[in-house]
Structure 1
Amino acid sequence: MQPPLGGDNAFYLGLYAKYLTDPASVPADWGAYFAEMRAPAAPDAPGRAVAAYLEAARRFGHLAADLDPLGLAPRDGRLDPLRAAARAEGAAGVRLTLAGAPRDLPAAEATALIDRIYRGTMGIEADHLHDPAEADWLLAAFERAMLAPPDDDLTRDALESVVLADTFESFMRVKFPAKKRFGSEGSEGTLVFLRALFLAAAAGPGVDEIVMGGMHRGRLAVLAVALGKSPAALAAELTGRDLSEGAAFTGDVPYHLGLRTRFEGARTLGLTLLPHPSHLMVVAPVALGLARAAGAGALCLLMHTDAAFAGQGLSAEMMQIAGLPPYRAGGAVHLVVNNQIGFTTLPAEGRSARYCTDVARMVGVPVLHVNGDDALAVARAARLALDWRNRSGRDILVDMVCYRRFGHNELDEPRFTQPRLWQAIDRHPPLRDLLTARVQHDRPALADHAARCAGDFTRALQDGFRRAADLLPNDAPVQPDAWAAVEPADEAALLAPVPTGLPLADLRRVGLAASALAPGAAVNPKVRRFYDQRAASLEAGQEITFATAEALALATLLDEGHPVRLSGQDAVRGTFTQRHLAVHDMDSGQAHLPLAAAARAGARAEIINSPLSEYGVLSFEYGHSLFDPQALTIWEAQFGDFLNGAQPVVDQYIVSAEAKWRLRSGLVVQLPHGLEGQGPDHSSARVERLLQMCAGGNVVVANPSTPANLFHLLRRQIHARWRKPLFLIAPKSLLRARSAVSALAEMAEGTAFRPVIAEAPPPGRGGVRRVVICSGKIAHALEQARDAAGLTHAVAVVRLEQLYPLDIAALRAALASFGRAEAVWLQEEAENQGPWPFLAEAFRRHGIHLNPRRPVHARPAMPVTAGGSVERHEREQEILLRGVLSV
């Protein structure tokens, strides 16, 4: 039962505090309770007001805390009446439990202690946690942190971080006055937080690797001060030298780059800072996926800015999936660098929530708010956040309230749009001055130590700047060492055959093992029949369907020791009820994964129904694919059309990360595709968009029309010496088409993926008048219509199974086998969509000559991918096939 809040805040806060301290006293009649609470406190109830104040402060103290370094944000006064009542109890004895231990104190002293904890430079939101015991532990830990005096180590490390950050930014400001740096001035607490977290993680057990997703703000200082990147390398990058290698490696701006290094503390930690694009939030779920793949010893540390975290819907997707078992990475620590502005947009313009972190309340994640000008409080927040994460295995957010001294970037003039805010910033002393003065008074030896560190760092920066002109920065890989064995590959390398077939006996052994149902399980009769038919087809070696070929590919990889992960909306059963990789007991509801029976020790099969998210989940799965080149990661869209909801991660990472950052992935993006009268949102994987982004052998786009080719494609992702993302244009109606089956022999030893499948020319070669080149489902419809029209010897079909990279040699050979027959392109998509816009130019460039009068047969150009009626679809399909068969 929750009391209503609003109106008379002081009254309701008191009511709520009484409810928390003595719930049994609350009557069912709230009206009577209101009357009781409005009555004067009984004289024989000493300490009642102090207890109420403590409980209210635990819930609402963050509203009254001193969080804004600039002092511009008003502090909420709703606790003031309760505080006054508590102070009025004076010398009355009070027993309170603070910092997890009971204390007997005079009321005035207890009130002052509550003020020190909850009205200082750090606040906490924990009342929304789902588990009261966890909330109690966190509040006690917070109280201990706020009452503990700062130790010398914490103070020294905080001062050193601030001084080095200021030294770095001052140096860069002089040397690169006209370069965008997104400097850390005003948010130097970021460096304090990072180094405090690194030191705490290295001092305790459980964390061996930290995977970081970052942001622009303070990026260069983070690289130089927290991660130890070479000043010479930074200077070389900032001068704008072209360090790329043509189209194969384009490089990126300095404040996007990542780094893989080590941190030396009580223990040595691996540190990976992922490169990130200007879509700031997308790196966060990518890092989360990489951390999960790295295992229990990996800590995910995510840095955000306030405007991006509050404004991007991806934040909610990420926070939601992070708490689900298939996506848990042991709890992420989030640092929100709260500049109190987004470019030129103030918080009141950029969000409707009170805090930029309020999305955390949705999923029961605690939040610490800290004044960025109190470096010691920032360090305490880092330690507390790590303690919570290590204890609970759940996320925590730290909202560090700070400011930007020089605007969005160094070329921006913030006084144009926020003159009053920057008047306050101009008057405000830098954090280095504030902290140095504080430490100089209490610990002068530490201040002297920091000054010496600054001198040494300045000399290192000067030396690095001198050497930058002659330096070729060390292009250290960001990914784990296992990727060193993966070879780079251009288009030609991707076209080389990769043997992926297996002996028939092995195919049957593994396939049957992965088709065995749990003994005694109450299996749905249709599902049992599905598995019986699969086993029968494996035994016979015939009628292998797409679903069986897919399961066989996954099972054989597991049998070889390769982990397999497949996630997507309804992926376990399959959107089209074609997969049934998990079998549910009709009585107990328990799920059994037959596929797991094929897994060798150490090879894990994860088949996951994902949340209703494309952007967040695909970003996570891409990150997961970055860890181990010997593991297969697949994300499946419910329909290929839904990839448009995840377009930023496609553009910013999947198709471009290797060129920008040498970041490689073997991710499979599986996109059900095919015009079947299901309307404009359930038809197209937007093949034209994918092909538009293909260059330099960056990805593979394949549209297999046979189960055997699907089998080989999936296995090739692991058995090739290269790794590239595969956009798999997956079938829908072909999943049950009688023509879309393969023999097991097509997957046997010595077989491989066939990028071009051509019919054998009829005897004499003279009968074929037209060769129709096409891809995917339309080939089956064409062959059936052709045979029904009696044109089997007049029209030949050549299927392009791989749209990029094109195997031009195989296509030329196929066309040559039909002599002087004219060639045309056929697609079911509209003429302005599908493969044709890409292929028209590719055919021209490679000298593939089509009928000049009508080279393409397609639906007319449309602004949508498909019409909305089955009748229209069938009419269009009939016209399309009739036209291409008019020879």
Structure 2
Amino acid sequence: MHSSVIATQCTGAVISQRERQTDRDKEIVLQIRGHHIAKLDPLGISSADLDDKDPPELLYSHYAFEEADMDRIFKLPSTTFIGGKEKSLSLREILHRLENAYCRHIGVEFMFINSLEQCNWIRQKLESPGITELTNDEKRLILARLTRATGFEAFLARKWSSEKRFGLEGCEILIPAMKQVIDKSTELGVESIVMGMPHRGRLNVLANVCRKPLEQIFTQFAALESADDGSGDVKYHLGTYIERLNRVTNKNIRLAVVANPSHLEAVDPVVQGKTRAEQFYRGDGEGKKVMSIILHGDAAFAGQGIVYETFHLSDLPDYTTHGTIHIVANNQIGFTTDPRHSRSSPYCTAQPLFTTFTRTRLIHVYTPPSHALTVLSLACYHQSRQPHAISFSESLTLGHPVALIVLDEVCSHM
């Protein structure tokens, strides 16, 4: 835990007006800028998104508190969620809980949202004690899903070692993440989900998220006639439509993955149009039965204008789908380009461009209360050992972190 991080939400009659103002300033600073020091990079590749320096306002030394103040008890205001049922906490415990909420492996940008109700909803979901803890059954479910995703990629790599397939190695956690989104959406009444995505991980999504029959996927590798659509396109461009039982919620769910050409983001407005059409014919005027999920690569999300155009359709009365979940597979490499040389924004999710105009919530993750866009940036890496569009050298796609990945894989087998 970053011991120097400072930002508190404490007020009380026992401290002076100046101290109360200082506490309020620290609260705002942490909520706005806490993501700067969150541990978002699984490889630690030279601070690709942000520089190595901690903003001074996030440092403990920036404020007037001393070590003797750490054990002082502060009364918590009614507007905070870090206390749970407790009404007062020591400064040390307040810092600990706030660091757990904002400075670990989840960094959130949301304070620019104009709706106080939405901001408070997000704060409650992050700050409430124990809210991110998982039960043993939930952990086993995530492990099982992650194991299936990893096993699928390993099987394809062994069986068709020379085939291009745009594997998901390095970002297999995408599968449990998508399935969790679908589980929760189904639980809340969603009956149909329209999805769009680029090449990377498409086969894994089709197999493990949509449960497309494996024989239909494997016939594409064997150069046989596909029993599916038979469009004649390459296997990592094809989509599917499946209606199946969600075993977690015991409800039926319709899952559609839209076919996508080689232009990685061309599918974005298509997904929105398909979702809007299905909402219209279902009489779903509030988007409670039909929703959309769009997956992106980090470089394409920041670099292709069609993403920005699609975002600006999101709130128009004749185009809105009442909210979309965007998941960015942030493998920290744009084809062969270092992210520090491919964009001007600190994150691939380009907060200054998208969120200011569209009230989008950004959630940066290391491995909705109302209709709004949500962008989930899933930090990962790209493993170049398997066939891609071209032959990459590992030093080009990963640089010095190659040793970290190899060491991690060795330890995982011990």
Q: What TM-score results when the alignment is normalised by the length of structure 1?
A: 0.40
| 2:41 alignment partner, SS class | coil
Does residue 279 (structure 1) correspond to residue 273 (structure 2)? The answer is no
| 1:67 alignment partner, SS class | coil
Q: How far has the Cα of 1:147 moved from its partner?
A: 4.0
Match of 1:403 among 378, 381, 386: 381
Does residue 131 (structure 1) correspond to residue 107 (structure 2)? The answer is no
Match of 2:39 among 58, 66, 69: 66
Does residue 56 (structure 1) correspond to residue 29 (structure 2)? The answer is yes
Q: Provide the C-alpha distance between the structure 1 equivalents of 2:148 and 2:175, rounded to a whole number of angstroms.
A: 9
Contact 1:162-1:191 at 8 Å conserved across structures: yes
Q: Provide the C-alpha distance between the structure 1 equivalents of 2:318 and 2:398, rounded to a whole number of angstroms.
A: 48
Identity rate of aligned residues, in percent? 27
Q: How far has the Cα of 1:228 moved from its partner?
A: 1.1
Q: How far has the Cα of 1:252 moved from its partner?
A: 0.7
Counterpart in 2 of 1:316? Answer: 308
Match of 1:397, as an amino acid?
V
Q: Provide the C-alpha distance between the structure 2 equivalents of 1:321 and 1:282, rounded to a whole number of angstroms.
A: 15
Match of 1:262, as an amino acid?
E
| 2:114 alignment partner, SS class | coil
Match of 2:305, as an amino acid?
G
Q: How far has the Cα of 1:57 moved from its partner?
A: 1.1
Counterpart in 2 of 1:90? Answer: 70
Q: How far has the Cα of 1:197 moved from its partner?
A: 1.0
Give the 3 Å change call, closer, same or farther, for CA 165–76 of structure 1 in structure 2.
Answer: farther
Q: Provide the C-alpha distance between the structure 2 equivalents of 1:321 and 1:431, rounded to a whole number of angstroms.
A: 47
Match of 1:91, as an amino acid?
D
Match of 1:113, as an amino acid?
R
| 1:210 alignment partner, SS class | strand
| 1:280 alignment partner, SS class | coil
Contact 1:47-1:107 at 8 Å conserved across structures: no
Counterpart in 1 of 2:359? Answer: 364
Q: Provide the C-alpha distance between the structure 1 equivalents of 2:410 and 2:210, rounded to a whole number of angstroms.
A: 21
Give the 3 Å change call, closer, same or farther, for CA 243–264 of structure 1 in structure 2.
Answer: closer
Measured against aligned partners, the alpha-carbon deviations of 1:45-103 in whole angstroms (never above 9, x if no partner) come to 66665544332111111111011111222555115424774673211112331259574
Question: Where do residues 408-447 of structure 1 align in structure 2 (5 Å cutoff)?
Answer: 409-410=387-388, 412-415=391-394, 417-418=396-397, 420-424=399-403, 426-427=405-406, 429=408, 433=412
Q: Provide the C-alpha distance between the structure 2 equivalents of 1:258 and 1:128, rounded to a whole number of angstroms.
A: 36
Match of 1:317, as an amino acid?
E
How many residue pairs match? The answer is: 381
Match of 1:399, as an amino acid?
S
Q: How far has the Cα of 1:416 moved from its partner?
A: 5.2
Higher relative contact order structure (alpha carbons within 8 Å, sequence separation ≥ 6):
2
Give the 3 Å change call, closer, same or farther, for CA 167–229 of structure 1 in structure 2.
Answer: same
Match of 2:74, as an amino acid?
V
Q: How far has the Cα of 1:114 moved from its partner?
A: 0.9
| 1:185 alignment partner, SS class | coil
| 2:266 alignment partner, SS class | helix
Match of 1:94, as an amino acid?
F
Contact 2:336-2:397 at 8 Å conserved across structures: yes
Q: Provide the C-alpha distance between the structure 1 equivalents of 2:313 and 2:100, rounded to a whole number of angstroms.
A: 36
Counterpart in 2 of 1:219? Answer: 202
Contact 1:343-1:407 at 8 Å conserved across structures: no
Q: How far has the Cα of 1:284 moved from its partner?
A: 1.3
| 1:270 alignment partner, SS class | strand
Q: How far has the Cα of 1:148 moved from its partner?
A: 3.6
Q: Provide the C-alpha distance between the structure 2 equivalents of 1:370 and 1:94, rounded to a whole number of angstroms.
A: 31
Q: How far has the Cα of 1:421 moved from its partner?
A: 4.0
Give the 3 Å change call, closer, same or farther, for CA 318–408 of structure 1 in structure 2.
Answer: farther
Q: How far has the Cα of 1:278 moved from its partner?
A: 1.0
Match of 1:335 among 327, 346, 350: 327
Gaps of 5+ in 1: 1-12, 23-41, 373-387, 438-887
Q: Provide the C-alpha distance between the structure 2 equivalents of 1:299 and 1:110, rounded to a whole number of angstroms.
A: 38
Contact 1:70-1:424 at 8 Å conserved across structures: no
Contact 2:325-2:375 at 8 Å conserved across structures: yes
Q: Provide the C-alpha distance between the structure 2 equivalents of 1:431 and 1:335, rounded to a whole number of angstroms.
A: 29
Q: Provide the C-alpha distance between the structure 1 equivalents of 2:197 and 2:215, rounded to a whole number of angstroms.
A: 22
Contact 1:259-1:272 at 8 Å conserved across structures: yes
Q: Provide the C-alpha distance between the structure 1 equivalents of 2:222 and 2:70, rounded to a whole number of angstroms.
A: 65
Structure 1 or 2, whichever has the larger Rg, is 1
Give the 3 Å change call, closer, same or farther, for CA 46–244 of structure 1 in structure 2.
Answer: closer
Q: What TM-score results when the alignment is normalised by the length of structure 2?
A: 0.83
Match of 1:54, as an amino acid?
E
Measured against aligned partners, the alpha-carbon deviations of 1:725-780 in whole angstroms (never above 9, x if no partner) come to xxxxxxxxxxxxxxxxxxxxxxxxxxxxxxxxxxxxxxxxxxxxxxxxxxxxxxxx
Match of 1:184, as an amino acid?
L
Contact 1:53-1:82 at 8 Å conserved across structures: no
Contact 2:333-2:397 at 8 Å conserved across structures: no
Give the 3 Å change call, closer, same or farther, for CA 128–46 of structure 1 in structure 2.
Answer: closer
Q: How far has the Cα of 1:251 moved from its partner?
A: 1.2
Match of 1:235, as an amino acid?
F
Counterpart in 2 of 1:676? Answer: none
Measured against aligned partners, the alpha-carbon deviations of 1:754-810 in whole angstroms (never above 9, x if no partner) come to xxxxxxxxxxxxxxxxxxxxxxxxxxxxxxxxxxxxxxxxxxxxxxxxxxxxxxxxx
Give the 3 Å change call, closer, same or farther, for CA 75–150 of structure 1 in structure 2.
Answer: farther
Gaps of 5+ in 2: none
